[in-house]
Structures are given as structure tokens and as C-alpha cells.
Structure 1
Amino acid sequence: MPLATLRRAARETVSGLPREFWWLWTSTLVNRLGAFVATFMALYLTLDRGYSASYAGLVASLHGLGGVVSSIGAGVMTDRLGRRPTLLIAQSGTAASVALLGFMHHPVAIAGVAFLVGMASNASRPAVQAMMADIVRPEDRVRAFSLNYWAINLGFAVSSMGAGFIAAYSYLAGFLIEAGMTAVCAVVVFLKLPESRPSLNKNAEEATDDVGLGTVLRDRRFMSVVGLSFLVALIFQQGSIGLPVAMGNAGFTPADYGMAIAVNGVLIVALQIPVTRFIQHRDPKRLLVVSSLLAGYGFGLTAFAGSVGLIALTVCVWTLGEMINAPTQTGLVVRLSPTRGRGRYQGMYTLSWSAAALVAPLMSGFVIDRFGTAWLWGLCAVVGTVAAIGYGALMRHLPAEEPTSPLGRVRQEGQEVGPSVG
């Protein structure tokens, strides 16, 4: 593709989005540049502290349990208190708890603080996604979610490569750097992001109560999507849980794992923009079916990978599935959510990933300890197939997207737009 065409594609991808989006994007990027702990927690516990894979899985599950506990509460806070206060509380709590975790040595203390980190770090997700839905036009949402996902993985690619070498020097330094970067995110939110919640008057706030958790739970189509999201999340969790433990057991170093998993972030940084242009107006059912199969069989191929290079090739396969799945599924959740209940719906969607973060470590630790890593990768292929069949059966006759809220239209018409965040 000619360079001029690539430049035009990139310009069209980033143009026309509101200024608030770019500050939120910047906050996401800074946060992920310092995201060391979740990536290297399993290696920290098994190699540095000498604990078993089962204990590492237990700690990661408690981290996931914290996310399960906070998902629903954060969704309600997002609708009631607002997006901005929820983000400030979540990011400040994450910075404090991550710093504390670095100084914990007793196994019970490590597990307890990991639970707190899971609660705090997961609480920001419903607020971020609801704020994006508030401020971005429906026709631009897949593009906006893709760009945000691109920022997540740009930061992840950099932090993964750097964290392996930081871990070789000091795991504590990784904890403290992540805490500091998260604190910077809280400052960005405080200084640059206004509240975007559509409910701005008393009557609107009372109307928000019409969409309660019972409403979400009775929405059968949405809850089916949440269940399928849980299955897909179980697979993707293995990139940070099953894969590092399996590579450690096979004699690979933390730096080897860091370089292999960095391929995930590098590919997303390089390809997310063209992939976004390809998927933006395509049938979400087909996209979700294909992404589920790529995820399941991408991890399944890891059973046949005996070198860092081959492992990196399997990462390429499931990364393509991830690039397709993430913006498509997030856009679908917004499409199925009523405007006044976005926080609660996003909280329930976040719960699917939090529940997967709770179950996946226990599953992978048990399977690896009892049966070996080959069984884990085979199970991933089976789960991916089940998810693909489920998406194919459920994704029929989707409702039309709701129009942009009056608040969103005012913000987009009255403020400068574009990729600049200055």
C-alpha cells in the first residue's frame, strides 16, 4: 500500500473525535505504559518468591475476585455519581494498593492486597467505556474503541519489553513505577476530563433508577452476550496466566516471556488501524465468530511450540482474534445498552472479564499441575469453538443504535475535535 494511502487512512481514523476522548485516550496510554504487575505477577510469585503454580493461580484469582466485587458497584457508581468521580476513586485506589503490594511478603498479605488491587483497578472500566459512549457519535464508536484499545496495547508493548528487564533488577521497582503512572492518570482525569453523564438534572437522575440491575439481568440477549464474553475472556486470560507459567516450567526466562508476549502489543500497534477500517462496517456476528475461533485455536497451537519464535507465532494468531473481538464486542455492548443505564450495563459486561480473571487462574493452575500444559491449550481450542457457535446462534436481528445524546451532540458541535490533546 502506498505511503500516501497509509497516511490518509491514519488521518481518517483519528479525525473527527472530541477533545475529551483524546484526554481519556492519553490517560489510558499512560496507565498501560506502567502496567507491569498484572503481566509479571505469576513469574514474581513462582520464580522470585518460590511459590507453586497453584498458589500463583490462587492469588491471580483473588485479584479477579476483587474485580468481580467491584464490577457491579462501579457500574452503579458510574450512573449515580458520574464517570469522572468513579475514575478518580478507582485510579487513586489502584495507585495506593499497587504500591502496598510491592512491600507485602507474607502469603496471606500478598493474597489480601492482590484482592484490593483487583477491586480498584477494575472499577475504572465501566466509567471509561460509558464516558466514551457518551462523548462519541454512534457511527464513530467502533473506531473510538479501537483507538483506545490501540493505546492500551501501545503501552502494553512498551511495558512488557521493559518490565522483563526491570523484573530482573527489582520486582519492587515495577510495583512502584506502576503506582506512580496510575497516579499520573488520576491527575489527568482531575485536570482535563469534565463529567459526561447524560443525566444532568434531578428528573433525569430519577429516571436513571428505571434501569436497575434487575433490568440488566432480565435482558436475555445482553446476558447471553455477557456469557459468551466470559468464555472468550477465559481464553485471552491465558496470555498473562497460563502462558508465563508454562514458559517458566519449560525453562524460559522472564525476559523470554516478555519478548514473546510483547508481540501481542506490537502487532496491535502496527495493525489495529487497518483492521479497524476493515471491520468498522461489517457484520458483528461474523466478526465475533471468527475472532473466537482465532483465539481458541491460536492458544491451542501453543501445545506445538517449543521455542520463543514459535510461541511468538501462536501469539500472532490469537492477537488477530483479539484485535477483531475487542472493539466489536465493546461496540455491541453499547448498542444493546440504554443511554441512561450505560454504567450498569458496562459493569455487567466488565463482570464477565472479572469473572474470567477469577476462574482462569484456578483453571490453568489446576490443569497445568494435574495434566500438563498441552491439556490447557486443547481446552482453549474447545472453549473458542463453543463461543463461536454461541455467537453464530445469538447475533440475529440486532437493534438499531441509539442516537447520540443531546450532551454528546453539544460537546461535539461546540468543542474542537481532532487528535490533538494539547
Structure 2
Amino acid sequence: MAETKPAGVLRTLRELPGEVVVLLVGIAINRMGSFVPIFLVLFLTREADYPAARAGMALTAFGLGAIPGVLAGGAITDRVGARASIAGSMTVYGLLVAAVPLLAGESMWLLLVVIACAGATGQLYRPAATAMLAELTPADRLVMASAAMRLGLNTGATLGPLLGASLAQVSYTLVFFVNAAAALLVAAAVLWRLPVMPRGKSDGSAAASKGGYLPALRDRRYVLVVAGTFLVAVVEIQYQTVLPLEVAARGHSDYVFTSLVALNALVVILGELPLTRVLQVLPMRLTMALGSLVLCVGVALFGLPAGLWILVVGTLVWTLGEIVSAPPVSAYPALIAPPELRGRYIGLMATSQSIGYAVGPAIGAALFEFHDAAVWSMCAALGVGAALCIGLGVREPDKTPADADEAAARDGEEVVRP
């Protein structure tokens, strides 16, 4: 008889294949070693003597490079395979990062090109890593495995700046070299331990190489989900953009803002895996839509005219929504995509989030300057829109392909299965 009760946290982690453990540890190491966005401006202004405006251009180039990097990563994964995509992107990224301090003082345009390419290759691995995780993990464990991957990412993101700050006390150049070494270490581990997937599974088959992202874009229900995740990203990034402005406008110190961000990280690290173990039995449509709505409502609460306590409550509600929605959102593209399109489905989702994180700050700051309450009202409205898009778009991944085709036909969709 098939087992219907979901495995617990410890059992899930204990029974993960060794290749998955290598992948998750590698992702965590790479995230912990990714210091470039944090220390790039400080390096260029303090050690390389660049004006602040040019240093800002460099950071912008790094961020802009990430968007096409994620988009290209999905297509490259379907063409050459997940293993080659991860190893290749980490190798090139490591070499480019190591070149940054060596090129400081040379042509500014050359430096900008190198930094933009580093931003692109540094994100190119993301669709491949998610695709590889899906290939190596049983479908009924993928949501939990995705939560474990997020645990590694969040832990790395928490410890990384502390490690980077310690290295910066010695030399900013050392920061870049250690960042490069971490990326090259991950590339070596991937080539050493991760398998080449069989044909038909993110392997670069002929069918997968046709049509670019058009086959994924023809899946109209999936595009609705992608649109919903874009709206959530626009809202979520306001904790970096408008929340510090709101905290300062209320007369609080920067310590209050950093404490709220630390509270979010702490609760996610401690609570996401245990809560995901309970929630994974629920329909993905419910957890993804409801979690996205709760996340956006939590951010919107920052605008209520109340004391410090409302900022804490808003952070906890936002964090709860993140915990509920993020693991199934991470797993969903790999669960419902045709195997030969898995990289592009994942890349499309990741790109929509990257664009949301890129445009969200400009939208939020402009609205806050116009009227401080407007941005928080926008967050609530976008939360409703996101929940509707996701609720209408999500197709439960436990359906067989035939069932999925039949359901899509009832919805009047064109089913694309190359």
C-alpha cells in the first residue's frame, strides 16, 4: 500500500539522496559566499577611488545583468542539462568576480561589462539548480526539499554578510577572491558528484531546443501564476525600499528596521521546515494563493497609524505568508512542467520575480513620496490580485498528463507538449 502520510522534517532530510545533499550544501555555500552586491560600492569608492556615482552604476549593472541571466538559465538548462549549466555558470561567475579587483582602475566601461556579466552568470544557475532538485527528489518530497533549499539560502544570506565584513577588515580584494573561490568550489562539487540526467530530462534534447520560451508562454494558466508571483515580488521588495523610510518617518532608529528584518530571517529559518511539513498535505492552489495574500497583507500593515507594535505584527504576518507560499511556489514549476521544458518553466517564474524585485523599489519610492499611505494600499491591492491570479492559474501537480490535458482543454487552453 502506498504511503499517504507525509514524511516529517528529520526523515525527509535524512532520506534525501546524497546528490541532493551535495546540491543543497553547494547552494548554501554559494549564497553565503556571494558578497559582491553588498561590498561592491564600498570597494569601488574606498579602495579603487571611484566616484560614488560610478560605483552606483556598477551596482546597477550587476543587478540588471541578473534578469537576462535567469531567463537565459532556463533555456540553457533545457539545452545542455542542469549539471553543465550549474558548473558552467559557477565557473564563469567565479572567474569574473575574481577579475573585478584586477580591473579596477582600468576602463570603466570594461569594468561595467565584466560586472554585468558576473550578475548574469551568478543567477544563471538558479533554474538549473531547481530543475536538478526536481529530477533527484521524489515528487511527494519536492516541496519539503524546496523548503530545505530555502533554509540553506536564508542561512547563507544571514551568515554571508558577517563573513564578508570580517574579510573586508583585511582587504576588500580578499572579499572578491573568497567569493570567487566559493563559486569555483561549488562548480567542482557539481561536476564531481551530480549525475548527467538521462535524455528527456533537462538534457538538451532536440525537442527542448525549439521555440524558446514560447511553449511555456502558451500555457495560459501557468502565465497567470507567473503574473501573480510578479505582483508578490513588487510587494515583498518594499521591505527593503519603503519600510526603512516608514520607520524613519515614525521617528525610530535604523536599529528598529534592522531588527524587523532580522526577525523575519530568524522566523523563516526556524519555522519554515516544520510548518511546511504540516502544510504540504494541502492543495498547492490554497497554500500558494493564501500565502501570497497573507504576505502582501503583512507588508500593507506597515502603513497602519499605530505604534511600534504594528511594525512587529506586520513583520510576523509577512513572514507567515512567506513561509506558507514560498516552498510550494519554488516547487510548482518543476512539478507541472513537461520534463523537456522544465528549465524554461522555472526560468520564467524566476525572471518574473527578478523583474518584480527590480521595478518594485522605483514604484514604491515614488508612491511613498506622493503619499506615504499610497504604497501600503498598493501592497494590499496587489495581494488580492496576486491571490486571484495564482488561485485561477494553479493546476494541482498530482494529475497525470492526460488529466492535465483534459483539464486544460476544458479551460479552452492550447496544450503544448513537444
Alignment TM class, shorter chain as reference:
0.7 to 0.9
Q: Is the 8 A contact 1:126 1:346 kept in 2?
A: yes
CA–CA separation in structure 2 for the residues paired with 1:112 and 1:201? 30
Change (3 A) 1:32 1:201: closer
* 1:231-270 matched pairs, under 5 angstroms: 231-243=231-243, 252=253, 258-270=258-270
What is the rounded CA distance, in whole Å, between the counterparts of 1:344 and 1:141 in structure 2?
A: 18
Structure 2 counterpart of 1:350: 350
**C-alpha displacement at 1:128, in angstroms?**
0.3
Which residue of structure 2 aligns with residue 196 of structure 1?
Answer: 197
Q: Which residue of 1 aligns with 2:378?
A: 379
CA contact (8 A) 1:64 1:355 kept: no
Q: Within 2, Cα distance between the matches of 1:172 and 1:378?
A: 44
Counterparts of 2:124 and 2:305, CA distance in 1 = 36
Could you tell me which residue of structure 1 aligns to residue 278 of structure 2? Answer: 278
Matched, 1:393 2:392: yes
Question: Which amino acid is the alignment partner of residue 76 of structure 1?
Answer: A
Match of 2:132 in 1: 131
Larger relative contact order, structure 1 or 2 (CA cutoff 8 Å, min sep 6): 1
1:297 aligned onto 2:297: yes
d(CA) in 2 for partners of 1:247, 1:331: 34
Equivalent residue runs for 1:16-165 within 5 Å? 16-38=15-37, 62-100=61-99, 112-160=113-161
Q: Which position in structure 2 is the counterpart of 1:408? A: none
Q: Distance in 2 between matches of 1:367 and 1:236?
A: 15
- Counterparts of 2:320 and 2:124, CA distance in 1: 27
Once the 2 structures are TM-superposed, how far is the Cα of residue 314 of structure 1 from its aligned partner? 3.4
- Provide the TM-score with structure 1 as the length reference: 0.77
Structure 2 letter corresponding to 1:300: A
| 1:5 aligned residue | none
User: What CA distance in whole angstroms lies between the structure 2 residues aligned with 1:201 and 1:213?
Assistant: 14
Partner-residue secondary structure (3-state), 1:115: helix
Q: How far apart are residue 35 of structure 1 and its match?
A: 3.3
Cα pair 2:202 2:343 within 8 Å, conserved = no
Give the distance between the partners of 1:97 and 1:64, measured in 2 at CA.
15
| In the alignment, structure 1 residue 337 sits paired with structure 2 residue 346 | no
Alignment root-mean-square deviation, CA: 4.1
Change (3 A) 1:318 1:107: farther
Q: Tell me, which stretches of 5 or more residues in structure 2 are unaligned?
A: 1-6, 403-418
* Shift, 1:210, TM fit: 5.8
How many Å apart are 1:383 and its aligned residue? 1.6
* SS in structure 2 at match of 1:199: coil
- What amino acid does structure 2 have at the position aligned with 1:15? R
Which residue number corresponds to residue 287 of structure 2? 287
Cα shift at 1:328: 0.8
Alignment partner of 1:184 is 2:192: no
Tell me which amino acid in the other structure corresponds to 2:271: L
Moved more, 309-318 or 229-238: 309-318
Judge conservation of contact 1:367–1:375 (CA < 8 Å) in 2: yes
Query: CA separation in 2, counterparts of 1:392 and 1:33?
Result: 34
Question: In 1, Cα distance between the equivalents of 2:332 and 2:293?
Answer: 19
By how many angstroms is 1:37 displaced? Answer: 3.9
SS in 1 for 2:206: helix
What amino acid is aligned across from residue 219 of structure 1 in structure 2? D
Structure 2: how far apart are the matches of 1:341 and 1:201?
A: 7
Deviation at 1:209, TM superposition (A): 3.8
Structure 1 pair 201–359 and aligned structure 2 pair: CA distance change class (3 A): closer
Paired residues, number: 391
Q: Is the 8 A contact 1:160 1:261 kept in 2?
A: no
Aligned to 1:360: 360
How far does residue 220 in structure 1 lie from its aligned partner after superposition? 0.8
1:166 Cα deviation (Å)? 6.8
Change in Cα spacing, 1:307 to 1:77, as seen in structure 2 (3 Å) is farther
Separation in structure 2 between the aligned mates of residue 227 and residue 319 of structure 1, nearest angstrom: 21
**Aligned-partner residue type, residue 322 of structure 1:** E
Deviations 1:273-311 (A, max 9, x none): 211111112011221222122221222233359999875
Letter in 1 for 2:23: L
Are 2:70 and 2:123, in contact at CA under 8 Å, matched by a contact in 1?
Answer: yes
Contact 1:228–1:387, Cα closer than 8 Å, also in 2: yes
Letter of the structure 2 residue corresponding to residue 27 of structure 1: G
Q: Helix, strand or coil for the counterpart of 1:123?
A: helix
| TM-score, normalisation: structure 2 | 0.78
Identity within the alignment, %: 26
Q: How does 1:207-222 map to 2 (within 5 A)?
A: 207-209=207-209, 212-222=212-222
Are the equivalent residues in 1 in contact too, given 2:247–2:253 (CA < 8 A)?
Answer: yes
Q: Secondary structure at the match of 2:16?
A: coil
Cα 1:286/1:38, change in 2 over 3 Å: farther
Cα offset for 1:325? 1.6
Q: Residues 200 and 339 of structure 2 are in contact (CA less than 8 Å); yes or no, is this contact kept in structure 1?
A: no
User: Shift of the alpha carbon at 1:114?
Assistant: 4.7
- Kept after mapping to 1: 8 A contact 2:224/2:390: no
- Between 1:193-202 and 1:10-19, the stretch displaced more is 193-202
